[in-house]
Amino acid sequence: MEPQNVREIRALIVRHKRWDKMFAIVGLIAMLVGVMTLFALFLDLAIDGLPRLSWDFFTSFPSRRAGQAGILSAWVGTTLVMLVTALTAVPLGIAAGIYLEEYAPRNWVTDLIEINVSNLAGVPSIVYGLLALGLFVYALDFGQSILSAGLTLALLILPVVIVATREAIRAVPGVIREAAYALGATKWQTVADHVLPYSTGGILTGVIIGLARAIGETAPVITIGALTFIAFLPPAPLKAEAPFLSFDWLFAPFTVMPIQMFNWLSRPEAAFLTNAAAAGVVIIVMTLAMNAFAIWLRYRYRKRIKW
Amino acid sequence: MKFKQLFAAFGVAALVAGALAAQAADKLVKVDGSSTVFPITEAVAEDFQKANKGLKVTVGISGTGGGFKKFCRGEIDIADASRPILKQEMEACNKAGIQYIELPVAYDALTVVINKNNGWLKSITVAELKKMWEPAAQGKIMKWSEINPKWPDAKLALFGAGSDSGTFDYFTEAVNGKAKASRGDYTASEDDNVLVQGVARDKNAIGYFGLAYYVENQDKLKAVAIVEKDGKPAVLPALDTVMNGSYQPLSRPIFIYVNTKSAARPEIKSFVEFYLKQAPTLVKEVKYVPLPDKAYTLAAANFKNGKIGTVFGGVAEVGVRIEDLLKREAKH
């Protein structure tokens, strides 16, 4: 015969374990809802679109005949726009994050900037489109070009990159910095040799979330004047004669994948819907490829961390 | 230092990009505007570029209003328009010193459609359509029998264009007598494929959209013949009834507007000439209704003679004959 209090404690443990199990089930269901929805959507797209995916689909321009229409101008446009976006948003965002976290004095101005950066992440994308239309397209006279679109999307994802950078930097233990300072390192040496390498993983995650958002954006890109039908490519970045590099492509007219997809979806012929599904598969694969690249990078950086 | 090099490279790239901020705009034909006209312009642009290597055409979809805005700022050479230019757009163009030539390129016929299994509705009068769609019907006309007692006592399921589309403007103008005046309690979508699905699923549904969407979905939908006025015959939308002008009042001409300054450039001139010459075949291919051959000849002559301005005077009209339009005095 056990004493009363032992029995009570046993009952308590059983009750708490029950809660544990229940939460595990709830969590599993929550995860499955997300994953299965994504999987079902992708499967649905793939079933409709896969038969259409052929070499020709990637190397053909849009056409009125669904069977001959392709995504050449769209995927080239998306790739170039994303390149401009990444080259602008990543260095700017990381630099801003480092400054706010490591250099900025703690006062109300910094607080104000921090609050604003977080708020900017929630501004609807069309607002960025309107801002960019006035700033990049007209005021700076970049025109309705790849450069304007890339910079617009860079603005759009900048807050995400900044916030992620700061979170990642904050996760680096303070002792690391103190150790560096103790050995006579300057602030910049500490940041460049220790803080940044250790936080690269977290920063890359933020960059990918940002770029994945940018690749699917339609509204701001349409606002600044992306086209729907374009059957030629931007000028090549490499030339046969000196100086071998050309930046004319930055100012070329363009279209992007989501616009092409949306246009096909609104067509009356059912064959265009197949094209839209195929284009959808390509966008998802492009996003997944970007993710895979980031995971690989993160893995390489993780390996070097010795603490 | 790896990061230093990276930052330096970005800096140089940004500087070079800034220094090269010159824009290449040679031999480029820029078209933008209505999504309704887009399939036709796309088809023409596709063939034009195949026939003329080295000439480039871009086509955007900003909507008719958005297209005119860009057109009157001189950003594009040609505006696709599913309705004539309006007064305030004419003023904007005048202010910017932009003159234009108005060219009708095809008909767009709005089609009233019902479910495949609807066996009792063969034709509908414009007065009945008005009773069904006018703003006063909102919340009141909810059953078929409330419009015509001969029709069944069944729930009325309405599907129509969203209020941002030119289709909505024209349908309300033609049926209710005032553009944008419509009841609001119906399933609205800017995407006509959504409307096709909606009507195909509901036995008591009725909806309207462009003819092309009906032609592509004849296995799921039925078109309803339209009686313009009592005593007139019921007319189904088809190539011949739209072309000879008997399908009224739901067929409308759609246009391109050409900037006269652009028209002086050889590549624009040859594009517009190509457009009007190829239109009869290409328009049919994208499931729109071409104008009578004579209309294209007249339009080509208007373009050649540089007939500036619009023949509508800035107001939308319902039920106009295309030949009369092309002969009218233009205003600008």
ipTM, interface predicted TM-score of the complex? 0.75
Chain B residue numbers with beta carbons less than 8 Å from the beta carbon of A237 are: none
- Beta strand B221-223 with B187-189 is unpaired
Instruction: Tally Cβ neighbours within 10 Å of residue A117.
Output: 19
Contact B6 A91 (CB under 8 A): yes
Nearest CB to A87 within list B10, B32, B39: B10
In which order are the strands placed within the sheet that holds B234-235? B123-125, B225-227, B234-235
Stronger pLDDT, B143 or A238, i.e. the higher one: B143
Nearest CB to B17 within list A147, A265, A270: A147
pLDDT at A31: 93
pLDDT at B25: 44
Tell whether A152 is within 8 A of chain B (Cβ).
no
Contact A251 B24 (CB under 8 A): yes
Q: Torsion angle of alpha carbons A203, A206, A207, A208, nearest 10°? A: 120
Chain A residue numbers with beta carbons less than 8 Å from the beta carbon of B213 are: 268
Is residue A68 over pLDDT 90? no
Is residue A220 over pLDDT 80? yes
pLDDT at B210: 87
Tell whether B58 is within 8 A of chain A (Cβ).
yes
pLDDT tier, A96 (very low <50, low <70, confident <90, very high otherwise): very high
Nearest CB to B287 within list A87, A88, A268: A268
Q: Kindly identify which residue of chain A lies nearest to residue B39, measuring between CA atoms.
A: A64
Residue range A95-107: mean pLDDT, rounded: 89
Tell whether A67 is within 8 A of chain B (Cβ).
no
Chain A residue numbers with beta carbons less than 8 Å from the beta carbon of B210 are: 268
> Do B78 and B259 form a contact (C-beta atoms < 8 A)?
yes
Contact A273 B193 (CB under 8 A): yes
Contact A270 B216 (CB under 8 A): yes
Contact B60 A268 (CB under 8 A): no
Nearest CB to B38 within list A145, A228, A251: A228
Q: Kindly identify which residue of chain A lies nearest to residue B212, measuring between CA atoms.
A: A268
Residue range A15-36: mean pLDDT, rounded: 93
Q: Which amino acid is at A209?
A: I
- The encoded tokens of residue A49 equal 């679109």
Mean pLDDT over each residue of chain A, to the nearest integer: 86
Contact A227 B60 (CB under 8 A): yes
Tell whether B45 is within 8 A of chain A (Cβ).
yes
Contact B21 A230 (CB under 8 A): no
pTM exceeds cut of 0.95: no
Q: Is the dihedral of CA A304, B1, B5, B6 positive or negative?
A: positive
Is residue A21 over pLDDT 80? yes
Q: Kindly identify which residue of chain A lies nearest to residue B214, measuring between CA atoms.
A: A268
Nearest CB to B42 within list A192, A229, A250: A229
Where do runs of H (alpha helix) occur along B59-153?
Answer: 63-72, 87-95, 126-133
Tell whether A124 is within 8 A of chain B (Cβ).
no
Q: Kindly identify which residue of chain A lies nearest to residue B209, measuring between CA atoms.
A: A268
Q: Kindly identify which residue of chain B lies nearest to residue A266, measuring between CA atoms.
A: B191
> Do B225 and B123 form a contact (C-beta atoms < 8 A)?
yes
Tell whether B316 is within 8 A of chain A (Cβ).
no
- The encoded tokens of residue A54 equal 């052929």
Q: Kindly identify which residue of chain B lies nearest to residue A200, measuring between CA atoms.
A: B3
Contact A229 B193 (CB under 8 A): no
Q: pLDDT digit string (tens) for A149-158?
A: 899 999 999 9
Stronger pLDDT, A59 or B316, i.e. the higher one: A59
Nearest CB to A232 within list B22, B56, B59: B56
Q: Most B CBs within 10 Å: which of A65, A98, A269, as the mutation test of the B interface?
A: A269
Tell whether A53 is within 8 A of chain B (Cβ).
no
pLDDT at A27: 94
Q: pLDDT digit string (tens) for B200-256?
A: 998 899 999 888 889 888 888 999 999 988 888 888 998 888 888 888 888 888 899
Low-confidence ranges of chain B (pLDDT < 50): 1, 14-25
Q: Which helix (H) or strand (E) holds B263?
A: helix B260-263
Chain A residue numbers with beta carbons less than 8 Å from the beta carbon of B287 are: 268
pLDDT tier, A105 (very low <50, low <70, confident <90, very high otherwise): confident
Chain B residue numbers with beta carbons less than 8 Å from the beta carbon of A230 are: 58-59
Residue B118, C-beta contacts closer than 8 angstroms, at least 6 positions apart: B203, B204, B222
CA A183 and chain centroid, separation: 38
Residue B306, C-beta contacts closer than 8 angstroms, at least 6 positions apart: B101, B260, B263
Burial of B8 by CB count in 10 Å (0-12 exposed, 13-18 middle, 19+ buried)?
Answer: exposed
Q: Most B CBs within 10 Å: which of A267, A273, A300, A301, as the mutation test of the B interface?
A: A267
Is residue A26 over pLDDT 90? yes
Is residue A11 over pLDDT 50? yes
Tell whether B194 is within 8 A of chain A (Cβ).
no
Give the Cα separation of A251 and A247 in Å (integer): 8
In chain A, what percentage of residues exceed pLDDT 90? 21
Give the Cα separation of B213 and A134 in Å (integer): 37
Nearest CB to B192 within list A62, A263, A266: A266
pLDDT tier, A223 (very low <50, low <70, confident <90, very high otherwise): confident
> Do A270 and A277 form a contact (C-beta atoms < 8 A)?
no
pLDDT at B245: 82
Q: Which amino acid is at B255?
A: F
pLDDT at B4: 52
pLDDT tier, A306 (very low <50, low <70, confident <90, very high otherwise): low
Q: What angle do CA A189, A192, A194 make, to 5 degrees?
A: 90
Give the Cα separation of A258 and A215 in Å (integer): 8
- Closest by alpha carbon to B55, among B294, B317, B270, B301? B270
Contact A196 B3 (CB under 8 A): yes
**Inter-chain CB pairs, A–B, below 8 Å:** 100
CA A140 and chain centroid, separation: 26
Tell whether B154 is within 8 A of chain A (Cβ).
no
> Do A49 and A271 form a contact (C-beta atoms < 8 A)?
no
Is residue A182 over pLDDT 70? yes
Which domains, ranges and CATH numbers included, belong to chain B?
A: 28-107+253-331 (3.40.190.10), 111-236 (3.40.190.10)
